């Protein structure tokens, strides 16, 4: 670590093994193992602990994860399999996971092809790495029922996970109902929905609950009032721009968006079109991304706790790994409607 380290930047000759440390300290590798893993107390004399510690730091010994994993049967690695990492929601999710895993487990990400649910063979290969547990983001139901993992698995954002697969989800259906109720309370009668076309379960749920709630409230979702684009401000803007003339003619005054990203596109085009928000058009989204409080106007959104989702999933996984019982196999985190200027004129 010393910047003047003569070895800096070069290939160290060969890695330091426990045997080398044992020799240097004059003890057995068993003792080195105990000390290196913090299991020395009460089992190794203070004198030997010191000698081993000294040798470890002198030689720069790091426990070899492979040897250790083989001996123990598992590694201290947690692998998270995720289809889509390039969005701020995911970054917050990871932050939550990392927080709970701390330094006890090493988090590694395995990215599947964009928008694809992971495949069973792919995950089986990952299993060959002997992770302590697996976190699987947005898997589809079929995958989950086919997997059958020998190690603990927790699904994230998998509302359709079978009961035997622990999962932690977001209550997006309730969020959708809250959004619709909010629109209804404001007097909107005809609404539209800007969906995401990625086909994950959480997105499907949002749309279905939205549609259902609209009818329950006696409101209308006219012909052609549900369109879908990718999760991209530009695509959403273009989609809205194309649909708006007709929607306007149909008397639509409010738009629910599957994600805040979609809503940003709507806001952008609406401002360019000179629409008065929220008077002529009300817009709301899902996710409550950080920027939603500073858009113009600020965006009404369903706050979904990405970090809580990550920490919750990691917590469940730790329980499983460590053999503790789960309070519940499926956890559902509530969302929260955050009302801002895109639906209600603010002071």
Partner DNA sequence: CTGAAAGCGCTTACAG
Burial 150-181 (b: 16+ CB within 10 A, else e): eebbbbbbbbbbeeebbbbbbbbbbbbbbbbe
Among 23, 28, 189, 222, binds DNA (CB under 7 A): 28
Cβ proximity to DNA: between 68 and 140 the closer is 68
Decide: is 323 part of the binding site for a copy of itself (CB under 8 A). no
Q: What x/- string results for residues 167 through 206 when contact with a copy of itself is judged by CB under 8 A?
A: ----------------------------------------
Out of a copy of itself, DNA, none, what residue 250 binds, judged by CB under 5 to 8 A for its kind, is none
Per partner kind, with CB cut-offs from 5 to 8 A, the member of a copy of itself, DNA, none near residue 27 is: DNA
Biggest CA–CA distance in the chain, Å, is 87
Q: Does 66 bind DNA (CB under 7 A)?
A: yes
From the CB of residue 123, how many other CB atoms can be counted at a distance below 10 Å? 21
Indicate the residue among 70 and 242 with the shorter CB distance to DNA: 70
Cα–Cα distance for residue pair 225/214, rounded to 1 Å: 12
- Should residue 323 be labelled a site residue for DNA when binding is judged by CB under 7 A? no
Q: Hey, which residues between 27 and 56 contact a copy of itself (CB under 8 A)?
A: none
DSSP 38-72: T--TTTS-HHHHHHHHHHHHHHT----HHHHHHHH
Q: Which of 247, 255, 183 is nearest to 219 (CA)?
A: 183
Residue from 50, 72, 104, 345 binding DNA (CB under 7 A): 72
Angle, helix 29-36 to helix 46-59, in steps of 10 degrees: 80
Query: Count of residues for the chain?
Result: 347
**Is 233 among the residues that bind a copy of itself (CB under 8 A)?**
yes
Residue 215 sits in the site that holds DNA (CB under 7 A): no
Q: List residues near DNA by CB under 7 A.
A: 15, 17-19, 26-34, 36-37, 39, 42-45, 47-48, 61, 63-64, 66-68, 70-73
């Amino acid at each position: 670590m010393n910047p003047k380290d003569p070895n800096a930047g070069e290939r160290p000759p060969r890695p330091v093994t426990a045997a080398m440390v044992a020799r240097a300290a004059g003890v057995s590798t068993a003792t080195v193992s105990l000390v290196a893993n913090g299991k020395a107390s009460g089992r190794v004399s203070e004198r030997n602990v010191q000698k081993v510690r000294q040798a470890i730091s002198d030689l720069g010994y790091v426990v070899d994860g492979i040897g250790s994993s083989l001996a123990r049967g598992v590694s201290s690695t947690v692998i998270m399999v995720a289809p889509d990492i390039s969005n701020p929601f995911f970054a917050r999710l990871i932050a939550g996971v990392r927080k709970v895993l701390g330094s006890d487990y090493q988090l590694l990400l395995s990215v599947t092809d964009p928008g694809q649910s992971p495949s069973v063979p792919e995950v089986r290969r990952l299993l060959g790495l002997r992770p302590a547990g697996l976190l699987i983001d947005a898997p589809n139901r079929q995958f989950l029922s086919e997997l059958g993992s020998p190690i603990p698995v927790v699904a994230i954002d998998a509302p359709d996970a079978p009961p035997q697969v622990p999962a932690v989800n977001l209550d997006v259906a309730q969020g959708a109902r809250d959004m619709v109720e909010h629109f209804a309370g404001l007097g909107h009668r005809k609404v539209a929905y800007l969906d995401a076309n990625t086909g994950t379960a959480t997105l499907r749920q949002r749309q279905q609950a939205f549609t259902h709630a609209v009818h329950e409230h006696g409101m209308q979702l006219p012909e052609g009032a549900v369109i879908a684009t990718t999760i991209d401000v530009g695509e959403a803007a273009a989609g809205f721009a194309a649909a708006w003339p007709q929607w306007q003619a149909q008397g639509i005054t409010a738009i629910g968006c599957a994600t805040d990203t979609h809503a940003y596109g709507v806001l952008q085009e609406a401002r360019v079109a000179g629409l008065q928000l929220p008077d002529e058009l009300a817009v709301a989204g899902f996710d409550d991304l950080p920027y939603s409080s500073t858009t113009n106007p600020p965006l009404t959104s369903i706050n979904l706790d990405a970090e809580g989702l990550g920490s919750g999933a990691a917590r469940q996984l730790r329980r499983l790994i460590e053999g503790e019982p789960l309070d519940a196999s499926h956890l559902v985190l509530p969302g929260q409607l955050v009302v801002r200027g895109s639906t209600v004129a603010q002071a």
